[in-house]
Structure formats: structure tokens, C-alpha cells
């Protein structure tokens, strides 16, 4: 099976799991307001590459586990990612009308509904991870996943990175961004969830410290590559293919590695990150080939 077909097939599995999680939430809480349920569904069931849950599952498989055991963490992580997109698109943040080629939640509904839908998706992620039926996931590993997802998503992870990004955008701080600052911001905003994805796969598989650390470092580097490819797409891509507005970073005065280094040097840096990421998992052998292909996909992506 080609990599693209594998990604598509897994995306269909995740979509079924995400649909079930939303259905279960609606039926468990008999009073889940229909408007909130509709907005959550709009946010989640709207396409998307599903690359983060893919990494959870494929890392778990590479280390000897299986897709069923990885499913609760994979679904929880995608719910967090979907919430982050809903909030990121709000007028107070990135003010985006288009996401995954469709109207964003605040455009399709309104701002207050989008804020609440994001909040409800974030909390549903932890409800799901804590409670999803999975005989292969013992309490110790479940607790480690809950803590890891909270750390990756919160103020020292994605939310903190978003704060640094918006500070630059809205307050003009720091006045002159360094490469170090931009890399730290991106490691938090985008890298933390990718790092968690691979670490979570290792936790699900019950891997030892060496392999878990190697996977986490690989995930962080893949996240850095994914973000840099995203910055390149913002300059080189067109909105129709990418599925969201492009050429936004420069217009917003955002500091990106492409802006700091220039296009050619940024492309060379992307190749360097790719090679560093491959080194992190050189000890894992051919079992990790799907992860290597995922890295290639992230670096070469067109949307
Ligand atoms: C609002 C707390 C909070 C955080 C937002 C993820 C994020 C942080 C912002 C998204 C803005 C952005 C363009 C980030 C760069 C890369 C990225 C995360 C792109 C979107 O992820 P994909 O490409 O999206 O995996 P799909 O639609 O495929 O799921």
C-alpha cells in the first residue's frame, strides 16, 4: 500500500472513532445542546489529514503494539488539535474565514459558539482518553497519556506557543525576533503535539526510556519540519490547494523562519531538520519505515 493510501485508510478509521466519540458525548450528556453538538461536529468532521493520530498509531505499531490500543490516545489528540484550530481561526486570534476548504466554525455559526465548541472539544479529549474502553491500556499508561497530553496542549506547550505567536502579531513583541525565539515558539505551538503523538505511541506500546525518548525527539523534529513546510506553503501555496488563506504571515508581520532566513536558506534548513529527525530513530530499523515516510510527507507537503 502506498503511503498516501495508508494515511487515507487510517483517516477513515479515525473519522469513525471521532464520530463515535461525538455521538457518545451527545448521548451521555442527554442535555448536550444541539447547537454545540453541531458546531463540534463541524469542527471535527470536516476533513483534515489526521496526521497526528496517524503518528500515534504508527509509532505504536512500529514498537510492537497495534492500532486498537493506540486509538484512545489518537482520537484524544485529534480532538485537541481540532479545538486548537477552532480557536486559532477566531477573529481575536487569526481571523480566518476558511479552514480545510470550508467556512470556519465562527463563520458558519458565530464567535461565542466557536469558543464554546473549542472548550467542549478540549474537555471531551480528556474525558475520552480517561474513559474509552480499551482492555490493552492499563491505568498507569492511561495516566501517563493524560498528563502528557495536558503538558503538550497547555501553557508550556501549544497554548504557550500560541501566546508567544500572538504577542508578536498583536503587540509587536519582541521587536526583533531571533531565530531562537521563533524556533522555541514553533516547538511549543506546533511541535508539542507532534512530540506527544510519537511519545504517546511509545507509551501505548510499553516501550522503554531509550525508545520513548527517541520517538519523542523524532516527533518534535517532525513537528518543526511540518511547521517550516507550512510557512513555505504560506508563501508558495495557493489558497484553493492549501484549503485556507495564504500569504498571511508576512501581511500580519509574523516572524517565521522563512522571513528570517529567506526562501533558499529555509528550504536548506528544512532538509537539515529532516536529516536530524531521521537520525533520532536510526536505532529502530525498518519497523519505523512508515514514520520515515511520514516525515518525508510532512517535508514535501502541498496542503
Ligand atoms: C488556539 C491554543 C490555540 C492554539 C492554536 C495549531 C495552532 C495553535 C494554530 C494553527 C495555526 C497554524 C497555521 C499552525 C501551523 C501548522 C499547523 C498546526 C497547521 C494545521 O494543521 P494540519 O495541517 O491541519 O495538520 P489539518 O486540517 O490537516 O488537520
Q: Are 276 and 217 in contact (CB under 8 A)?
A: no
Segment among 109-118, 143-152, 255-264 with least mean pLDDT: 255-264
The length of the chain in residues reads 303
Cis amide bond preceding 133, omega within 30 = no
Closest of 255, 236, 261, 254 to residue 246, by C-alpha: 236
Q: Are 101 and 121 in contact (CB under 8 A)?
A: no
Question: In ligand 1, which atom is closest to the CA atom of 159?
Answer: 2
The predicted model gives 153-161 an average pLDDT of 98
- Sign of the CA dihedral with 67 first, then 68, 74, and 78 last: positive
Please, what are the domains in the chain?
3-300 (1.10.600.10)
Q: Is 230 in the pocket of ligand 1 (CB under 6 A)?
A: yes
Q: Are 63 and 209 in contact (CB under 8 A)?
A: no
Ligand 1 centre distance from Cα of residue 85 (Å): 6
pTM (whole model) above 0.75: yes
The residue to mutate among 43, 51, 77, 88, having the most atoms of ligand 1 within 8 angstroms of its beta carbon, is 88
Sole residue written with cell 481561526: 89
Ligand 1 centre distance from Cα of residue 89 (Å): 9
Instruction: Look at residue 6 and tell me whether its pLDDT is greater than 90.
Output: yes
CA distance 290 to 55: 9
What pLDDT digit, counting tens, does each position of 271-288 carry?
999 999 999 999 999 999
What pLDDT digit, counting tens, does each position of 222-243 carry?
999 999 999 998 888 665 665 5
Question: In ligand 1, which atom is closest to the CA atom of 231?
Answer: 15
**β-bridge mates for residue 103, sequence order:** 98
Please give the span between the terminal C-alpha atoms of the chain, in angstroms, as a whole number: 21
Q: Is 104 in the pocket of ligand 1 (CB under 6 A)?
A: no
Ligand 1 centre distance from Cα of residue 190 (Å): 7
Structure confidence at residue 303 (pLDDT): 66
Q: How confident is the model at residue 28 (pLDDT cuts 50, 70, 90)?
A: low
Q: Is 158 in the pocket of ligand 1 (CB under 6 A)?
A: yes
What pLDDT digit, counting tens, does each position of 57-80 carry?
999 999 999 999 999 999 999 999
The predicted model gives 100-128 an average pLDDT of 97
The whole-chain average pLDDT of the chain stands at 92
Phi first, then psi: give them for residue 45, nearest 5 degrees. Answer: -95, 55
Amino acid at each position: 500500500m502506498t503511503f498516501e493510501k495508508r494515511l487515507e485508510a487510517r483517516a477513515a478509521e479515525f473519522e469513525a472513532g471521532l464520530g463515535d466519540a461525538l455521538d457518545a458525548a451527545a448521548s451521555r450528556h442527554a442535555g448536550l445542546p444541539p447547537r454545540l453538538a453541531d458546531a463540534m461536529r463541524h469542527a471535527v468532521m470536516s476533513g483534515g489529514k489526521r496526521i497526528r493520530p496517524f503518528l500515534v498509531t504508527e509509532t505504536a505499531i512500529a514498537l510492537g503494539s497495534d492500532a486498537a490500543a493506540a486509538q484512545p490516545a489518537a482520537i484524544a489528540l485529534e480532538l485537541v488539535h481540532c479545538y486548537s484550530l477552532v480557536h486559532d481561526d477566531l477573529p481575536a486570534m487569526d481571523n480566518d474565514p476558511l479552514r480545510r476548504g470550508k467556512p470556519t466554525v465562527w463563520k458558519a455559526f458565530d464567535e461565542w459558539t466557536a469558543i464554546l465548541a473549542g472548550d467542549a472539544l478540549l474537555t471531551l479529549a480528556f474525558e475520552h482518553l480517561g474513559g474509552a474502553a480499551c482492555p490493552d491500556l492499563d491505568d498507569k499508561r492511561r495516566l501517563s497519556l493524560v498528563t502528557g497530553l495536558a503538558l503538550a496542549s497547555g501553557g508550556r506547550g501549544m497554548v504557550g506557543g500560541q501566546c508567544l505567536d500572538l504577542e508578536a502579531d498583536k503587540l509587536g513583541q519582541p521587536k526583533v525576533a531571533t531565530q531562537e525565539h521563533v524556533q522555541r515558539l514553533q516547538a511549543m505551538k506546533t511541535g508539542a503535539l507532534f512530540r506527544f503523538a510519537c511519545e504517546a505511541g511509545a507509551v501505548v506500546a510499553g516501550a522503554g526510556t531509550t525508545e520513548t525518548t527517541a520517538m519523542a525527539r523524532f516527533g518534535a523534529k517532525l513537528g518543526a519540519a511540518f511547521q517550516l513546510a507550512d510557512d513555505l506553503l504560506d508563501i508558495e501555496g495557493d489558497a484553493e490547494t492549501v484549503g485556507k488563506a495564504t500569504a498571511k504571515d508576512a501581511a500580519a508581520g509574523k516572524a517565521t523562519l522563512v522571513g528570517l532566513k529567506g526562501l533558499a536558506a529555509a528550504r536548506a534548513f528544512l532538509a537539515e531538520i529532516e536529516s536530524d529527525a531521521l537520525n533520532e530513530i536510526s536505532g529502530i530499523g525498518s519497523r519505523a519505515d512508515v514514520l520515515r515516510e511520514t516525515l518525508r510527507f510532512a517535508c514535501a507537503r502541498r496542503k
